[in-house]
Amino acid sequence: MAGRKNMQIRYLFNGEKVSQKTRDYLEKKIEKFNKFLEKILRIEVEIEKDKKNFFRVEIMIKIPGSIYRSEEISESIEGSLDMTLEKIQQQIRKEKGKTRIARKRGAQSIKKKIVIDPNARF
């Protein structure tokens, strides 16, 4: 797939073996972030199983100028992955919204500062 060439995914498995099926599931989910993010520098995925048989999944996505990070604990790897990726997606949406609002406010302030000569002809 074209998006995978740009992405570096680093896996850290602490005391847990993760199947190729789970890795493929994760990579498929992460591919969707190429729609939202222009250039992903690095992705780190840390998965560990605690004494209570819960899975802790931490994902960090690094792009130029920002880092998105989330961590979740649940009974299944897939459940933790889904919740973690959902939180990261919310962080991305929030930041994109802030950027859009800042641009809009900047454009409005420029429009207010523009003075048009009353003698100008249109």
List, as own/partner pairs, every contact residues 106-114 make where C-beta atoms lie below 8 angstroms and the sequence separation is at least 24, other chains included: none
No. of helices (H) and no. of strands (E), the chain: 3, 4
Distance of alpha carbon 106 from its chain centroid, rounded?
26
Can you give the residue ranges of every domain in the chain? 2-113
Encode the chain (122 residues) as per-residue pLDDT tens digits.
444 445 678 888 887 788 889 888 888 888 888 777 878 888 899 999 888 889 999 999 998 888 999 999 999 888 999 999 999 999 988 988 887 887 888 777 777 777 777 787 76
Q: What percent of the chain has pLDDT over 90?
A: 27
| Structural fold of domain 2-113 | Double Stranded RNA Binding Domain (3.30.160)
